[in-house]
Structure 1
Amino acid sequence: MSKLLEVKDLAVSFNTYNGEVQAVRGVSFDLDKGETLAIVGESGSGKSVTTSALMGLVPKPQGVIKSGEILLEGEDLVKKSNKEMQKIRGKDISMVFQNPLSSLNPTMKIGNQIIEGLVKHQNMNRTDAKKRAIELLDQVGIPNPEIRMKQYPHQFSGGMRQRVVIAIALACNPKILIADEPTTALDVTIQAQILELMKDIQKETESAIVFITHDLGVVANVADRVAVMYAGKIVEYGTVDDIFYNPKHPYTWGLLGSMPTLDSDDEELYAIPGSPPDMLNPPKGDAFAPRNKFALEIDGVMEPPMFKVSDSHYAATWLLHEDAPKMEPPESVKKRMQGFANTGGEE
């Protein structure tokens, strides 16, 4: 079966006064219809730049896609002009951004913001588009949609604004929905509602979702597969079960160890020491080595390849080499792995 989306060896850089920032360095992944892929990692790991490239939104001339392919049903989006990408954005690939207020036009009624996309991409007349907009608002759980259509963004709460943004993103029945930290600005209760909403909508529409987050805990009940990014590269890639039950990369251990759970206290939380590297001058060897207490001598010299753990699971760490010493995750990580197993993924 052909893949809906295939990203192959994608590299994105930004030219600054200080030099070239290598934001994304050889990222590859794929996506099937109806699947959710979560891309996780700290700020600056390259998650959002990767999805900006998928949307054709890498700012030019500073931003440059240096190499790679982004194949949407076999067509390379990297080769598309901005005018061609305008037809693809919204129709084939839509995006839900982190801050809904900045995504909405404050001078325009909510209904008109949904209708606009339907008229442009679906060739609907305004009467049909208005009817569809009301259906979309109802679908994302906004009460009294006929009345709310006539209101402005400032008249909605943060959670309701995010629902509106999701309605706009879904208006043209996109094949892929990119959600870039869509719940970060929301409180925990609303966050859970938005995540549940996205899961329900995916079942109805069969759209694929690329979910961007820095929080592994958020993806446990959302994703099918997880790509862990660090310093512009994917360092571990696998199913949710692979990542939560059998993590192999020390960076993934750190992310899991820093994830609070209902039965953990503050002392048990693990903090990854140091900070991500300067991508103006990426370190030689394994970029995570300076922060990794499990680092081997080779980590400072040579970058590790992607080792195959199973047919679905890969990790780029020298700890998986046959000659490497056997290392176990820290106790704090093991507790979270066990807690995840005990709750069936409901952490």
Structure 2
Amino acid sequence: MDKLLDVKDLKVSFNTFSGEVQAVRGVSFDVNKGETLAIVGESGSGKSVTTKALMQLLPKPQGFIKDGQILLEGEDIVQKSEKEMQKLRGQDISMIFQDPMTSLNPTMKVGTQIMEPLIKHQKMSRAKAKERAIELLELVGIPDASTRITQYPHQFSGGMRQRVVIAIALACDPKLLIADEPTTALDVTIQAQILELMKDIQRKTESSIIFITHDLGVVANVADRVAVMYAGKIVEIGTADEIFYNPKHPYTWGLLGSMPTLDNDGYDLIAIPGSPPDMTDPPKGDAFAPRNEYALKIDEELEPPLFKVSDTHYAATWLLHEDAPKIEPPESVKRRMQGIANTGTAPGVAKDGEK
């Protein structure tokens, strides 16, 4: 597959009164054309900062890219000026933010907000932009689109507002769509509709998607590949099947163990003990070691590299070293993995358990 995005050793920091917060510490990943990559992890793991860095939307001067490359179709966009980035945003890369009410301007009609990027980037006339705005509202499943474009955001429900935000993001047919927890503020039923809508839109537009979430359950049916982040680093990356059925990092085990399924069979959800580290002074060795019941002595001294599990699967844990003791995921995680398979919530698994 052709690479659309290639992020190499990205480091992002924030200057604060307490010192330099090392929010992203050497992250590398790529996204192929037409692929969905999910980035998962707890709040504070660096997911949103990573994607804001991709669009150069870090709050300045506090936030800055310290090092690394962001190659969009082979061109490094880290060095681009704000004026150059304004041409890229909306046209080549678009973002769907978490809360539609803060993304939409309450004083502007919905149609005007959709037309704005079309007029700016596509140089469309107002009449042509209005036609396209109606098409986009129909694409995202809003009925009576020709009437709704004349209404204001407060006249839409939460789910409908999120559909409007998606329509704005899709207006200029971007090559890469970044969805930053786009369903967190919505109820479960609307959540499922929005996820299905994004999958359908991707099939029609062949765009690539980076999906940010703290909820592995949301990822199960949307992602082709999954990157698990902790303390500003990717600790495991692989295909969705590999992450759900053959996880190797204890942090991934913890995320899976805390994820409810329809087939919990009466077992309690397992919480990950402790809290993420203070990123003004990242710990020596493996940042997850203080919360990891399977931590080895070497975890306190040396940071683990990304060990190769397969051609598509890598995990940063000393448990994968050839001299490490062989430790299996806890039973709670195995049951959760089996529950995913039984209920068909993971990729490629039918509800009756047949492939």
TM-score in same-fold range (> 0.5) = yes
Instruction: State the partner residue of 1:39.
Output: 39
Q: Does the Cα contact within 8 Å between 2:284 and 2:302 map onto a contact in 1?
A: yes
Q: Does the Cα contact within 8 Å between 2:110 and 2:150 map onto a contact in 1?
A: yes
Cα displacement string for residues 87-106 of structure 1 (whole angstroms, at most 9, x for unaligned residues): 00000000000000000000
Q: Which runs of no fewer than 5 residues in structure 2 stay unpaired? A: none
Moved more, 218-227 or 258-267: 258-267
Cα drift, residue 3 of structure 1: 1.0
1:304 aligns with 2:304: yes
Instruction: State the partner residue of 1:85.
Output: 85
Cα drift, residue 181 of structure 1: 0.2
Instruction: State the partner residue of 1:279.
Output: 279
Q: Does the Cα contact within 8 Å between 2:264 and 2:339 map onto a contact in 1?
A: no
Distance 1:267 1:107 in 2: 49
1:292 aligns with 2:292: yes
Q: Measured at CA, do residues 345 and 265 of structure 1 come closer, stay the same or move farther in structure 2, by a change above 3 Å?
A: closer
Distance 2:18 2:335 in 1: 43
* TM-score using structure 2 length: 0.96
Instruction: State the partner residue of 2:229.
Output: 229
Cα drift, residue 342 of structure 1: 2.9
Residue aligned with 2:78, SS: helix
Letter in 2 for 1:329: P
**Aligned counterparts, 1:143-292, within 5 A:** 143-264=143-264, 267-292=267-292
Letter in 1 for 2:7: V
1:139 aligns with 2:139: yes
Cα drift, residue 82 of structure 1: 0.5
Aligned residues: 347
Distance 2:127 2:107 in 1: 22
**Aligned counterparts, 1:56-75, within 5 A:** 56-75=56-75
Residue aligned with 1:101, SS: helix
Q: Does the Cα contact within 8 Å between 2:263 and 2:343 map onto a contact in 1?
A: no
Distance 1:64 1:211 in 2: 22
Letter in 2 for 1:322: E
Cα drift, residue 266 of structure 1: 6.7
Q: Which runs of no fewer than 5 residues in structure 1 stay unpaired? A: none
Q: Does the Cα contact within 8 Å between 2:26 and 2:233 map onto a contact in 1?
A: yes
Q: Does the Cα contact within 8 Å between 2:236 and 2:314 map onto a contact in 1?
A: yes
Cα drift, residue 320 of structure 1: 0.1
Cα drift, residue 42 of structure 1: 0.1
Instruction: State the partner residue of 2:118.
Output: 118
Distance 1:74 1:303 in 2: 30
Instruction: State the partner residue of 1:27.
Output: 27
Cα displacement string for residues 259-290 of structure 1 (whole angstroms, at most 9, x for unaligned residues): 00112267520100001000011000000000
Q: Measured at CA, do residues 189 and 307 of structure 1 come closer, stay the same or move farther in structure 2, by a change above 3 Å?
A: same
Q: Does the Cα contact within 8 Å between 2:93 and 2:177 map onto a contact in 1?
A: yes
Distance 1:239 1:173 in 2: 26
* TM-score using structure 1 length: 0.98
Give the aligned CA root-mean-square deviation in angstroms. Answer: 1.0
Distance 2:284 2:127 in 1: 59
Instruction: State the partner residue of 2:334.
Output: 334
Distance 1:116 1:310 in 2: 46
Cα drift, residue 64 of structure 1: 1.4
Distance 1:193 1:154 in 2: 20
Letter in 1 for 2:153: P
Q: Measured at CA, do residues 255 and 128 of structure 1 come closer, stay the same or move farther in structure 2, by a change above 3 Å?
A: same
Identity of aligned residues (%): 80
Cα drift, residue 339 of structure 1: 1.9
Distance 1:81 1:59 in 2: 15
